[in-house]
Amino acid sequence: MSATGNAIEVRGLAKRYGPIEAVRGIDFSVARGEIFGLLGPNGAGKTTTIEILEGYRERTGGEVSVLGLDPGRRPVELRRRMGIVLQSCGIYRHVSVREVVGHWARLYPHPRDPDEVIGLVGLAEQQDRRTNHLSGGQRRRLDLALALVGDPELVFLDEPTTGFDPAARRSAWETVRALRSLGKTVLLTTHYLDEAQALADRVAIVKDGRIVVEGRPGELGAGPDRYTITYRTSAGEWREHHTNDPTSLLAELTAAALSRGERLEQLSVRRPTLEDVYLELTGDSPRSAASGDETPTPPGAGAREEPAGVVGDV
């Protein structure tokens, strides 16, 4: 594959496990300094893709370039330049946190200070504890420490915050953002769509081994009739309109209401969230069942949120 400025280039990637086609022709690229999120249901092929990029799995077809190298050839240089949080990790069970991180640091040419990294992931109080005595979330924090201690250019994070309590998740987000501000590249998988929304510059949603959509998290829902305007009439009926031009439609609706001397109660304008788009593309969603304008929506019924009574994103 020709050299590009991108940290990761994937073209036509395919992987079979015997009869199972886990990855069926995936294309994407990740620019240097970018945080890219792979999303998708269980079994979609995310971990398989990441492990091929890490050089832990052989591909069946396609071309892959990571930091300009082919991970299929298992170049030592690549190992030194990347950090990894595997989806499941259980090595080094009978040594302390500090020993593991210190040992790991020595495998890299220019490691970060192990104590600093232990503090960064919030394990300072547990640094002398044996790793098999850590809680699940604390073990996951250790995994993150191991991915960071080599000060890599490229970090693979496969569900890095699974099992984290809410405060630990926020703090991990700060750590990932700090990586971006240092110019590092991050490839992340997560089932937490708020995490993808908060961290990723771009995401790809994978289903059955294929990418079904790719883009910036805030723009994925963009398309025809993607805004939903809801309000309650003075007669108490809920109205729902779908439009791609909420500014004009809102002006028309409010002008008409004012000319009748009415108010549009609990008026709201809503854009699809990443979660809406995800559910629509990967399975059944309430929105994909709705059709056309002026579909009356009983408040509180179905899975759609009751309108919040605010006007936003116009």
Ligand X SMILES: Nc1ncnc2c1ncn2[C@@H]1O[C@H](COP(=O)(O)OP(=O)(O)OP(=O)(O)O)[C@@H](O)[C@H]1O
Does residue 60 touch Mg ion according to CB under 5 A? no
Residue 174 phi, psi (nearest 5):
-60, -40
Cβ contacts of 9 within 8 Å, gap of 6 or more: 1, 29, 63, 64, 65
Q: Are 253 and 307 in contact (CB under 8 A)?
A: no
> Tokens representing 92?
């080094």
- If the CB atoms of residues 136 and 302 are measured against ligand X, the closer one turns out to be 136
Q: Which does 190 bind (CB under 5 to 8 A by kind): ligand X, Mg ion, none?
A: none
Q: Which does residue 268 bind out of ligand X, Mg ion, none, counting CB within 5 to 8 angstroms by kind?
A: none
* Binders in 74-103 for ligand X, by CB under 6 A: 87
Give the amino acid at 206.
Answer: V
44 binds, among ligand X, Mg ion, none (CB under 5 to 8 A by kind): ligand X
87 touches Mg ion by CB under 5 A? yes
Taking CB under 6 A as the rule, does residue 268 contact ligand X? no
Q: Edge-to-edge strand order for the sheet containing 8-17? A: 20-30, 8-17, 61-66
For the bound state, the minimum distance from the C-beta of residue 207 to ligand X, rounded and expressed in Å, comes to 9
208 Cα distance to chain centroid: 17
191: helix, strand or coil? coil
- Binding partner of residue 84 among ligand X, Mg ion, none, CB under 5 to 8 Å per kind? none
Closest separation in Å from C-beta 292 to ligand X? 35
Smallest separation (angstroms) from Mg ion to the CB of 46: 5
Contact by Cβ (8 Å): 223, 235: no
**Contact yes or no for 247/314 (Cβ under 8 A):** yes
Question: For ligand X, which is the closer residue by CB, 52 or 101?
Answer: 52
Q: Which residue lies nearer to ligand X by CB, 117 or 144?
A: 144
Task: For residues 131 and 57, give the distance between their C-alpha atoms in angstroms, rounded to a whole number.
Answer: 27
Query: Tokens for 148?
Result: 């960071």
Kindly report the backbone phi and psi dihedral angles of residue 17, in degrees, each rounded to the nearest multiple of 5, phi listed first: -110, 95
* Distance of closest approach, residue 47 Cβ to ligand X, in angstroms: 3
Pattern 27-66, ligand X, x by CB under 6 A: -------------x-xxxxxxx------------------
Instruction: Examine residue 49 and tell whether it contacts Mg ion (CB under 5 A).
Output: no
Backbone angles phi, psi at 15, to 5 degrees: -145, 125
Q: Which of 47, 228, 268, 285 binds Mg ion (CB under 5 A)?
A: 47
190 in contact with Mg ion (CB under 5 A): no
- Give the interface with Mg ion as residue ranges (CB under 5 A): 46-47, 87
- Give the interface with ligand X as residue ranges (CB under 6 A): 17, 20, 22, 40, 42-48, 87
